[in-house]
């Protein structure tokens, strides 16, 4: 079961937000005090009230098909909603009996459709909307459905609410992630993880044994208290000191978090950044331990709060991983969390209105992001190590792939050089902050591997973002190893009077090492200046006829790069 859309009416600053669509990951962006947090809070409120009302109806024995739209008093939702603070102030005088309204549209999979049919007795096509109205004193829940089954579903709104509530869970992580917030997440994890054993016979028997052991102590305290109170209050007949069964269960779920980073320290004594990361990390743990039959929606307010930039990059990967299993909805001011591959998954919130973004430029404008001229229209930036690689690949890729040729022409794809692999993490970060995606084509040598590892550890890239210049049978290789020697041998011979028809150039070392040994063996200088000049000459010669310059036996790395770029430009991350 997945949340498809949310409609909000008269909740805090949001007077109307119609059918906001939700995907695997949905990002709410906009200036401060424009309503992002209120939309997120509306989602949390609606789902929590749905859960509480479902439990209340069950406890009242009303979960049957015989009653119509279930109504419940504010006592069941007062923790989540207060009319005095949540109903829009400008509306209160005009509508003293007004309600905040929420419409949650869910999509069912085939198994859930079959379960719904067995439980409710109504066949549905796959989507269903639950409407929740919360007023000053009373609230109600009803099914909103068109068609022949509408009346029957409305009459069974309570059962439908329970059916959905049991299969959807909301986890809310606020922007101020204190030690208490972290423990709230832990408590929820424990609750879900322990539910199975808490219903087992051994656990129930153990609780009864604890109750039996506590009984004499409680009885003794009851007698002592009664004896003392009768002295002052002769009308007192009896006094009982008891521990509720629910209290015993909650006590056995109590936990504390100790962080050992050299000195074991209680979480509450750690800084805001650590407390923030703990709450978010526990959410990832929750996804791995939670019941797969229950769909969790994770609502996070400003995940970048209190975090170091490198931690923000890492967190981006964690959230992307969680989004493969559960839905994520977050508010942010940080460009790193914007969904660049699915623009409509970003909801723009401004002037208390919300709508899906229609272009990257809209997102840049609302976040105040200024992209460089070469990135303004780019969807994907290919990072290469130097200008030589850029020159050759700009000639080769369009010649081999019509799709990439079109992307170059409409500037959806561009190539940028790092001017040294050590700049990879920095350059990738700038590209992401400009709301572009980046991909890398890196030499398969120690320098390239070190640069990629640093960028990966900083969260700027993932393994999926990198293609390597690999040649069969070579432990290390670089772009020039992919070229036919004949494409540039005469150019070097004319410029430097160096022949490449020598055993020194026919080893399995990478190109620059082979070229260095060849030059030095023939009594030629090889330093940074000569190397840069030779690389430039070779790149120009290869780019003049890029396809024939490519060694057909070594083009696997190029074919893999083309496949990866085409895949990403088709909308895949």
Alpha helices in 368-510 (DSSP H): 387-400, 402-409, 424-433, 446-457, 489-496
Confidence of residue 60 (pLDDT cuts 50, 70, 90): low
| Residue 301 CA to its chain's centroid (Å) | 12
Q: How far apart are alpha carbons 46 and 27 in whole angstroms?
A: 18
**Rounded alpha-carbon distances, angstroms, from residue 344 to 103, 134, 419, 571:** 20, 30, 35, 12
- Residue 431: predicted pLDDT: 84
For the purposes of burial, counting CB atoms within 10 Å of the CB of 22, is it exposed (0-12), middle (13-18) or buried (19 or more)? buried
Lowest-confidence segment of 289-303, 329-343, 388-402 by average pLDDT: 289-303
pLDDT digits (tens, 9 = 90+) for 10-49: 999 888 888 899 988 999 998 877 788 899 999 999 999 9
Confidence of residue 382 (pLDDT cuts 50, 70, 90): very high
Structure tokens at 92: 């209160």
Q: Comparing 395 with 226, which gets the higher pLDDT?
A: 395
Nearest to 49 by CA among 94, 92, 98, 99: 99
Q: How far apart are alpha carbons 498 and 556 in whole angstroms?
A: 29
- Residue 30: predicted pLDDT: 85
Q: Is the pLDDT of residue 153 over 70?
A: yes
Q: Is the pLDDT of residue 178 over 60?
A: no
- Residue 334: predicted pLDDT: 83
- Tell me what percent of the residues of the chain surpass a pLDDT of 90: 38
**Rounded alpha-carbon distances, angstroms, from residue 55 to 47, 48, 62, 202:** 13, 11, 10, 26
Q: How far apart are alpha carbons 415 and 561 in whole angstroms?
A: 13
Mean pLDDT across 547-556: 94
- Residue 552: predicted pLDDT: 92
Confidence of residue 325 (pLDDT cuts 50, 70, 90): confident
- Residue 324: predicted pLDDT: 82
Average pLDDT, the chain: 84
pLDDT digits (tens, 9 = 90+) for 204-263: 899 889 999 999 998 998 888 888 878 877 887 888 888 877 777 777 777 777 777 777
Q: Please say whether the beta carbons of 12 and 118 come within 8 A.
A: no
pLDDT digits (tens, 9 = 90+) for 340-362: 777 888 999 887 788 888 888 88
Q: How far apart are alpha carbons 192 and 199 in whole angstroms?
A: 12
Q: How far apart are alpha carbons 125 and 110 in whole angstroms?
A: 9
pLDDT digits (tens, 9 = 90+) for 492-540: 999 999 999 999 999 999 999 999 999 999 999 999 999 999 999 999 9
Confidence of residue 374 (pLDDT cuts 50, 70, 90): low
Contact residues for 425 (Cβ-Cβ < 8 A; gap 6+) = 451, 454, 455, 458, 460, 461
């Amino acid at each position: 079961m997945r949340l498809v859309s949310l409609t909000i009416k008269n909740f805090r600053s949001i007077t109307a937000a119609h059918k906001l669509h939700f995907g695997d990951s949905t990002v709410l962006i906009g200036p401060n005090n424009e309503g992002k947090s209120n939309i997120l809070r509306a989602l949390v409120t609606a789902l929590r009230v749905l859960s509480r009302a479902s439990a209340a109806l069950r406890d009242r024995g009303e979960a049957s098909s015989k009653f119509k739209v279930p109504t419940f008093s504010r006592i069941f939702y007062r923790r989540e909603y207060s009319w005095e603070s949540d109903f829009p102030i400008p509306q209160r005088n005009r509508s003293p009996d007004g309600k905040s309204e929420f419409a949650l549209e869910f999509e069912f999979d085939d198994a859930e459709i079959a379960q719904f049919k067995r439980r409710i007795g109504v066949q549905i096509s796959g989507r269903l909307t639950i409407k929740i109205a919360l007023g000053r004193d009373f609230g109600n829940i009803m099914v909103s459905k068109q068609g022949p089954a509408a009346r029957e579903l409305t009459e069974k709104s309570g059962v439908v609410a329970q059916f959905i509530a049991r299969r959807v869970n909301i986890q809310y992580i606020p922007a101020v992630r204190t030690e208490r917030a972290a423990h709230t997440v832990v408590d929820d994890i424990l609750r879900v993880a322990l539910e199975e054993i808490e219903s087992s016979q051994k656990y129930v028997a153990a609780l009864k044994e604890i109750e039996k052991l506590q009984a004499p102590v409680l009885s003794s305290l009851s007698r002592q208290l009664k004896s003392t109170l009768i002295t002052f209050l002769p009308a007192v007949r009896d006094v009982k000191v008891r521990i509720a069964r629910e209290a015993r269960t909650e006590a056995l779920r109590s936990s504390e978090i100790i962080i050992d980073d050299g000195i074991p320290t209680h979480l509450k004594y750690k800084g805001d950044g650590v407390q923030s990361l703990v709450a978010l990390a526990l959410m990832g743990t929750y996804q791995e331990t939670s019941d797969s039959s229950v769909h969790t929606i994770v609502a996070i307010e400003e995940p970048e709060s209190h975090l170091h930039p490198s931690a923000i990059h890492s967190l981006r990967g964690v959230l992307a991983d969680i989004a493969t299993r559960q839905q994520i909805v977050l508010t942010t001011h940080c460009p790193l969390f914007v969904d660049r591959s699915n623009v409509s998954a970003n909801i723009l919130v401004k002037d208390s209105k919300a709508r899906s973004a229609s272009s990257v430029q809209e997102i840049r404008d609302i976040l105040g992001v200024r992209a460089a001229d070469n990135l303004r229209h780019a969807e994907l930036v290919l990072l290469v190590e130097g200008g030589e690689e850029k020159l050759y690949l700009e000639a080769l890729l369009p010649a081999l792939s019509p799709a990439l040729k079109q992307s170059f022409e409409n500037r959806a794809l561009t190539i940028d050089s790092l001017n040294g692999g050590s700049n990879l993490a920095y350059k990738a970060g700038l590209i992401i902050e400009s709301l572009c995606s980046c991909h890398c084509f890196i030499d398969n040598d120690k320098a390239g591997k070190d640069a990629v590892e640093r960028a990966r550890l900083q969260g700027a890239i993932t393994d999926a973002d990198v293609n390597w210049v690999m040649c069969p049978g070579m432990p290390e290789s670089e772009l020039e190893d992919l070229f036919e020697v004949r494409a540039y041998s005469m150019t070097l011979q004319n410029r430097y009077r160096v022949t490449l028809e020598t055993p020194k150039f026919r080893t399995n070392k990478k190109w620059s090492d082979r070229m260095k040994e060849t030059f030095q063996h023939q009594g030629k200088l090889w330093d940074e200046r000569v190397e840069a000049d030779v690389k430039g000459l070779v790149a120009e010669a290869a780019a003049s006829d890029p396809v024939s310059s490519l060694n057909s036996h070594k083009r696997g790395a190029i074919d893999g790069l083309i496949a990866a770029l085409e895949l990403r430009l088709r909308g895949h991350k």
